[in-house]
């Protein structure tokens, strides 16, 4: 459970870092599982439903940028997303009934871990109310050099920015058009086992990993169970199965919040990394090796 001060801080700023949420044994188990996934990426040459590959990936040197929806690919990931060490913390922010919206594991490997441009998760999946957040379980120690998640405090109370380029959804906002002061961004650093929390409307991004250490961040997106997705429910059984705490409801709570729909869809669908290839203006640096590959 969070303290009253932590809840007040989250409501005001839109983020939190909670230390020691999971133990060293769980971290070691997750790392071993991930190493197995990366090893199997040798046999994959293109992005698919499991892997988002770095542009410089080869079978000899497998380079995984993201494991997509890990909870669908291994029961241990699914169990962790429903682990009460995480969901009990979130009950202080979302209420007792909580649904998992999605999961992703962003790898940010040493030497080539790619940046993620500034965006609001809300631009990807608007709901009937905005009681949604994402947690980031730090599977490695994370400091300013290995590409921490960066957030702009208080922006969860502001507008929903346009995440389109040339009329198509690109999953990134135009840093110049927003007038936001990115020098005020706060890096969410901490020891492995800590958990970051950011509100669904908070502007965030993250820079290159310029260190010799990896930065694995296991992201879980959660919604209050009475927040229903405006893009619709494709599979009601799966939707209900994703209630990780409390009970399901078919009575959505509707609260006004600024919304932009992520349509028309972008040229590069599949994950935020693919989406953001369509963004016209970049804020974060790109590795030279990746720049050459994109240009080629």
Ligand X SMILES: O=C(O)CCC(=O)C(=O)O
User: CA gyration radius for the chain?
Assistant: 18
Complex with ligand X: residue 54 or 226, whichever CB lies closer: 54
Does 272 sit near ligand X (CB under 6 A)? yes
> Under DSSP, is residue 68 helix (H, G, I), strand (E, B) or coil?
strand
Contact flags string 33-72 toward ligand X, x per CB under 6 A: ----------------------------------------
- Least distance to ligand X, CB of residue 205, Å: 7
- Least distance to ligand X, CB of residue 4, Å: 28
- Least distance to ligand X, CB of residue 16, Å: 16
- Least distance to ligand X, CB of residue 29, Å: 21
Does 206 sit near ligand X (CB under 6 A)? yes
User: N- to C-terminal Cα distance for the chain?
Assistant: 50
Choice from 81, 217, 223, 225 touching ligand X (CB under 6 A): 217
Q: What b-and-e string marks burial along 68-103, b requiring 16 or more CB atoms within 10 Å of the CB?
A: bbbbebbeebbebbbeeebbebbbebbeebbbbbbb
- Least distance to ligand X, CB of residue 124, Å: 8
Q: Does residue 264 have a cis bond before it (omega within 30 degrees)?
A: yes
- Least distance to ligand X, CB of residue 246, Å: 25
Complex with ligand X: residue 221 or 226, whichever CB lies closer: 221
Complex with ligand X: residue 196 or 226, whichever CB lies closer: 196
Does 21 sit near ligand X (CB under 6 A)? no
- According to DSSP, residue 171 is labeled S
* Bridge partner list, 134: 198, 221
* Total interface residues for ligand X by CB under 6 A: 9
Stretch (H or E) spanning 106: strand 98-106
- Least distance to ligand X, CB of residue 235, Å: 23
Q: Which residues contact 109 (CB under 8 A, 6 or more apart)?
A: 54, 63, 64, 209, 214
Complex with ligand X: residue 26 or 135, whichever CB lies closer: 135
**Within positions 73 to 132, which residues make up the interface with ligand X, using CB under 6 A?**
104, 106, 116
Complex with ligand X: residue 149 or 165, whichever CB lies closer: 149
Complex with ligand X: residue 106 or 214, whichever CB lies closer: 106
Does 185 sit near ligand X (CB under 6 A)? no
- Start-end of H helices in 141-211: 175-178
Complex with ligand X: residue 47 or 106, whichever CB lies closer: 106
- Least distance to ligand X, CB of residue 33, Å: 18
Complex with ligand X: residue 116 or 226, whichever CB lies closer: 116
Q: Which residues contact 266 (CB under 8 A, 6 or more apart)?
A: 168, 169, 170, 171, 275, 278
CA–CA separation, 200 and 204 (whole Å): 10
Does 149 sit near ligand X (CB under 6 A)? yes
Q: Does residue 126 have a cis bond before it (omega within 30 degrees)?
A: no
Do you know the residue count of the chain? 296
18's tokens: 């909670």
131's tokens: 């009681």
Residues that bind ligand X (CB under 6 A): 104, 106, 116, 149, 204, 206, 217, 219, 272
């Amino acid at each position: 459970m969070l303290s009253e001060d932590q809840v007040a801080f989250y409501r005001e700023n839109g983020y939190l870092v909670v230390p020691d949420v999971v133990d060293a044994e769980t971290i070691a188990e997750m790392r071993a599982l991930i190493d197995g996934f990366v090893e199997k990426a040798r046999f994959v040459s293109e992005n698919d439903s499991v892997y988002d590959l770095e542009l410089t990936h080869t079978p000899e040197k497998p380079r995984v940028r993201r494991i997509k929806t890990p909870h669908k690919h291994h029961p241990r990931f699914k169990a962790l997303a429903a682990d009460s060490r995480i969901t009990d913390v979130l009950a202080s922010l979302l209420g007792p009934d909580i649904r998992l919206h999605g999961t992703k594991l962003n790898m940010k490997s040493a030497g080539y871990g790619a940046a993620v441009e500034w965006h609001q998760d809300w631009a990807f999946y608007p709901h009937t109310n905005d009681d949604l957040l994402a947690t980031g379980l730090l599977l490695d120690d994370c400091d300013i050099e290995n590409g921490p998640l960066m957030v702009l405090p208080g922006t969860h109370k502001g507008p929903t920015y346009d995440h389109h380029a040339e009329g198509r959804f690109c999953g990134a906002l135009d840093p110049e058009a927003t007038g936001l002061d990115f020098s005020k961004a706060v890096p969410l650093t901490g020891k492995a086992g800590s958990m970051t929390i950011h509100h669904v409307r908070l502007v965030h991004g993250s820079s290159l990993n310029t260190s010799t250490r990896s930065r694995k961040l296991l992201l879980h997106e959660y919604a209050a169970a009475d927040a229903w997705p405006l893009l619709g429910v494709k599979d009601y059984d799966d939707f209900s199965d994703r209630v990780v705490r409390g009970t399901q409801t078919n009575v959505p709570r509707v609260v006004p919040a600024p919304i932009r729909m992520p349509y028309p869809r972008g040229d590069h669908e599949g994950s935020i990394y693919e989406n953001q290839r369509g963004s016209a203006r970049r804020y974060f640096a790109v590795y030279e090796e990746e720049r050459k590959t994109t240009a080629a």
